[in-house]
Amino acid sequence: MDDFFFSLLLAGISVGAVYALIALGLNLTFWTTKTLNFGQGSLMMLCAMLTVFLSSQGLAAALAVLGSLVLVAALGMFIERWTVRPALTSSGGSMGWVVSTLGFGIFLQGMAAKYFGSQAMAFPDLVFTAQDFVTLFGQYVSLQYLVVLAVAVALILTFEIFVRCTVWGHAVHAVSLDPELALVQGIPVRRLILGSFMLSSILAGVAGVLIAQIGGTVDPAFGFDLVLLGFVAAVLGGMGSSLGALVGGLLVGVISKLVGGYVSTAAEHGIAFALLMLALAVRPQGLFGRPEVSKA
């Protein structure tokens, strides 16, 4: 195996893991409300920027990350209450949330540009520096890449177990299937929905910090196209499936890096959307999605 291929594969897997985290975050709100927060990218950006800001104020790296995550989680609740819920209740199942979540994301991006400046800021090293590596199959593997991969896989396994094996996992599924029936069965629907937006925002924040760590810098525009790639990963893997998010994310990451390396970096994003179109044409429910079953 030549070095070039291997390094592309590795880069693909680690960005793919981040796409998987974004896809997982999108899945979470989809589970409870069948909506997606298209402003996820701004939450990623904001979390990374806040981390830079807080650590520049002299806070320890871990505390800076934690503080940013708490703020982003609060924003997640705000998004549910003020951009998603009104859109869902006002005209009965409208698609208004697409515009309102995206709009709020753009707003956050603008605010970040105003207060943090639109210049790229250097992201501090959290656990490992870019120079830390191990040798694997005779290749240098950056430890930062491995951390990203490990965090993504651990989170995805946790979610998969939660959804499949716990009562609350079933309750979340129930809310997405029939919220009214869930209500009369005593399931605290409101709290589950709010919780899903909080967790989804936290996942976005984690993804943002991880990818900023790999890239080394953050700027207000950061995260916007990443969400689109996360969306492709979610659809490819099957909307709502955690395992699908992981596989979809890795596929998008690896394929786009390989195309970027062997064909042209300009084609990196294009190929991801070609994958999306292919998936929608051939297997609309995604790799791990379940087609709807019902009898009248």
Partner 1 sequence: MLELRNLSVRYGAVRALEGVSLQAVPGGITAILGANGAGKSSLMRAISGIAPVAAGQVLLDGQDITTLPPPVRARLGVAHAMEGRRLFRQLTVEDNLKLAWSFGARREKLAASLAEVYARFPILETKARTAAGLLSGGQQQMLILSCTTIRSPRFLLLDEPSLGLAPIIVQQIYGFITNYAAQSGIVVMIAEQMATLALRVSHQGLVLRRGRVVLAGAGEELLRGNDGKTLAASYL
Binding residues for partner 1 (CB under 8 A)? 167, 170-171, 173-174, 177-178, 180-181, 183-190, 290, 292-295
181 sits in the region (left: phi over 0; alpha: psi -120 to 50; else beta) called alpha
Q: How far is CA 28 from the centre of its chain?
A: 10
Cβ closest to partner 1, residue 151 vs residue 174:
174
List residues bridging with 141 in a β-sheet.
134
- Closest approach, Cβ 287 to partner 1, in A, equals 18
Cβ closest to partner 1, residue 67 vs residue 169:
169
Cβ closest to partner 1, residue 161 vs residue 183:
183
Contact 288, 233 (CB under 8 A): no
Q: Can you tell me which residue has the tokens 């394929």?
A: 255
- Closest approach, Cβ 291 to partner 1, in A, equals 10
Closest by Cα among 285, 231, 166, 256 to 21: 231
- Closest approach, Cβ 39 to partner 1, in A, equals 28
Cβ closest to partner 1, residue 16 vs residue 240:
240
Closest by Cα among 218, 214, 272 to 48: 218
Cβ closest to partner 1, residue 136 vs residue 177:
177
Q: How far is CA 140 from the centre of its chain?
A: 27
- Closest approach, Cβ 104 to partner 1, in A, equals 27
Angle at 242 between CA 47 and CA 283, to 5 degrees: 120
- Closest approach, Cβ 286 to partner 1, in A, equals 16
Cβ closest to partner 1, residue 2 vs residue 292:
292
- 256: number of CA atoms within 13 Å, CB side? 29
- Closest approach, Cβ 182 to partner 1, in A, equals 8
C-alpha distances out from residue 144 to 25, 245, 249, Å: 21, 21, 18
- Closest approach, Cβ 89 to partner 1, in A, equals 13
Cβ closest to partner 1, residue 80 vs residue 268:
80
Contacts for 1-7: CB closer than 8 Å, 24+ residues apart = 1/137, 3/139, 4/261, 5/258, 5/261, 6/137, 6/139, 7/139
Q: Can you tell me which residue has the tokens 């951390």?
A: 147
- Closest approach, Cβ 86 to partner 1, in A, equals 18
Q: How far is CA 131 from the centre of its chain?
A: 26
Phi, psi of 142 (to 5 degrees): -65, 135
C-alpha distances out from residue 34 to 84, 126, 175, 193, Å: 11, 35, 10, 11
Cβ closest to partner 1, residue 282 vs residue 293:
293
